[in-house]
Amino acid sequence: MPTSPPLKKIRIVQLTAVIFFTVSGGPYGLEPLISYAGEHGALLLLLITPLMWDVPAIFTVLELNSMMPVTGGYYKWVKYALGNRWGFFEGWWTWLYTFVDLAIYPGLFVLYASYFFPVLAAYRIPICLCVVWASAGLNILGIVPVGKTALFLGAIVFTPFIILFTLFFIHHTGGISIPSPSLKGIPFPSLGMALYTVMWNCLGWDNVTTYAEEVEKPVKSYLVSVFSAFVLVIVLYFLVMLVAQQTGIGNGVLADKGFPAVAEIISGKWLGGLIAFGGMASSLGIYAAVLLSVSRVPKVMADDDLLPGRLNKLHPKFQTPYISIIVCSLIVSLMILWPFADLLIIDVTVYGAGLSLEYISLIKLRMAAPDTNRPFKIPLGIPGLCLMILLPVTVYFVALAGAFSSQEHAVWAAVFAITALASAELVWRIIVWKKPHHKKGGLYSV
């Protein structure tokens, strides 16, 4: 009987690059923040929101992943802690949110490619489809090619911004003027959209755990890589928004033309071109990294008989879930028609619901399995963990309330997101009707 080839694994540096692209990929997409929050609120939200939204998620992910560094990540944690039903909800919600998330990046690729060739905007759909299926092919080749590609694209993303920062500080005369931090006077709908903008640019820390069995020394590697990626993301975001404010660029111009317009002010078209090229690399890197994470979830759900069995089929040569990758790519190919602002609201709303189940699982396992080995453990008791979790929950509901009080398109996007969340219960009822054994199983079993 033929044996499967050994599974190739990635190391810390490659993992850091993949995590960077999964949760960020650079500051592209932050451009509307100043329009929503104003000069006095933008930098303040950029510092406070990650502390309230990201840090609790990072700590939760690191503790749960140190307990169970398995393929399927968050889906397996929730299934183990809360049972089959909520495990299915977690997998289903994350699958839906990731389709929405993935649909954003091919459009961003076309946006930045149009900087060089404006005529490309007229061919948005065909170009988006090329991005979708080229990334599918790369992911079928395996996690190592994706990791190496992410490392290469990461260099392309960072280099133009390093040049931009260097030229700015060399040529800037006078002091750095930082507006006094304040949220006063920001309309509530604008505050909600500002929060959504920052949250979207800093989400997905749990997604990077779905391929834990494909990482060398996963507990140590994730600890180092996650914190390294977080520092890189926050420093890059803060610097680029600070520099943008110092150039005096109009809020509308920044929102419409992006960071290439900032680069043109500092050093002309050549630097604007570099930043735009970095935006293209960012879109490709994010798409490949996020597809890597989401393609493992339907595979392990199919292993558990919660989705069709063909989704768990591995490629005979590359040992990757190629059917799952193809199915994900087909669905994203249909979703690239949605506008960016609506996708952002749906993305963050559905993601936040799934993240809440991970927080509940963290508390449940602390109570039900206090003696289980945790190489990384948050240094808080149950009351402290509950207070920690209140921070991202507060940010989530403020952003959602802001969307509901915003323009009509934002309201409908939020309604669609809630409808998508409700679909999990309908699909679960169908599964239990066809396969009644799932109703009882799953608790405390991986």
Residue 3 has pLDDT above 60, yes or no: no
- Using CA atoms, how far apart are residues 327 and 338, in angstroms rounded to an integer? 19
Query: Taking the domains of the chain in order of start, what are their residue ranges?
Result: 12-439
What integer is the mean pLDDT of 117-133?
A: 90
DSSP secondary structure of 357-380: HHHHHHHHHHHH-TTS--SS--S-
| 282 has a pLDDT exceeding 80 | yes
Mean pLDDT of 263-267: 91
Average per-residue pLDDT for the chain: 85
For 387, other C-beta atoms within 10 Å of its C-beta total 11
Query: Which homologous superfamily is 12-439 in?
Result: Amino acid/polyamine transporter I (1.20.1740.10)
More confident residue, 386 or 216: 386
Mean per-residue pLDDT for 183-188? Answer: 86
Q: How far is CA 273 from CA 113, 142, 161, 259, 278, in A?
A: 10, 32, 12, 10, 9
Tell me: pLDDT of 2 over 50: no
pLDDT at residue number 1: 42
The token duo for 145 is 């090619």
Residue 441 has a pLDDT of 58
With the C-alpha atoms ordered 329, 335, 339, 345, is the resulting torsion angle positive or negative?
Answer: negative
| pLDDT score for 442 | 53
Percent of the chain residues topping a pLDDT of 90: 25
Q: What is the pTM of this model?
A: 0.83
What would the pLDDT profile of 12-68 be if each residue is shown by its tens digit? 888 888 888 888 888 888 888 988 888 888 889 999 999 999 999 999 999 998 888
Residue 431: pLDDT band (50, 70, 90) is: confident
